[in-house]
Amino acid sequence: MEEAGPATVADAERAEAAPPEERPGLGVLLWRAGWVVALVLADLWSKASVFALLENPATALARSCPHGHRRLHLFGPDAGWLTFMRSENRGAAFGKFADYPQLLVGGRILAVAFLIWLLVRLPVRRRWFSVAMVLVLAGALGNLFDNLFLERHEGETFGWVRDFIDVYFAHWEWHFPTFNLADSCITAGAILLLLSGLEADQGPSRADGDGSLSSPAR
């Protein structure tokens, strides 16, 4: 019989020391699902409320740019970089794929299905990764709701996504593309996905902290 070499012994020791991939139980899944539902409801409520406010004739809207866009300045016209502006988006971020609605909405449906599958199987110890997945899934569902359930414009197959948050700098006549809470969730989730690679360097004790979306409070 051959003796185990140093590399073989080291590999065996690492395998024994590695924490098991603990699958989420029912409580964890309900916790994650609860956060997804809460974020989706917050997104839909914010869209409906702000659109109703902007469409109310009593709301004082300012035409604060040469393009004639009517905005509601949240902190007054002198500090008018953050405004609400009614906008409907046929495409994805920055209006991409607006001419291919079937491809766009079909891709969103597939993405939602994949994210749900991933979130159900995600190990408990991957807490930041699970937070990122919750955010991205909630954002995708919020925008997909608009596509599938809002009233269609004439000649359109799907509803348009409601956007209203507008960052506008009048001095330079520049504004960031209008977005909504769902877009913010997706962006925050994407950033967390990039940062969650650092989680692999943490020990199991760091991954078991309280207050994450991976595990309900005990």
Residue 163 is among the residues annotated as catalytic for this protein = yes
Beta bridge partners of 167: 82
For residue 205, pLDDT beyond 60 = no
pLDDT at 99: 74
User: What is the full DSSP assignment across 152-201?
Assistant: PPTT-SSPPEEEEEEEEETTTTEEPPPB-HHHHHHHHHHHHHHHGGGGGG
pLDDT at 218: 43
The active-site residue out of 183, 201, 208, 210 is 183
With bands split at pLDDT 50, 70 and 90, how would you rate the model's confidence at 169? confident
Question: What is the mean pLDDT of the segment spanning 67-81?
Answer: 72
* C-beta of residue 110 within 8 angstroms of C-beta of residue 167: no
With bands split at pLDDT 50, 70 and 90, how would you rate the model's confidence at 144? very high
**SS3 call for 22:** coil
Q: What pTM, to 2 d.p., does this model score? A: 0.78
Question: What is the mean pLDDT of the segment spanning 143-158?
Answer: 91
pLDDT at 198: 63
The active-site residue out of 43, 146, 163, 166 is 163
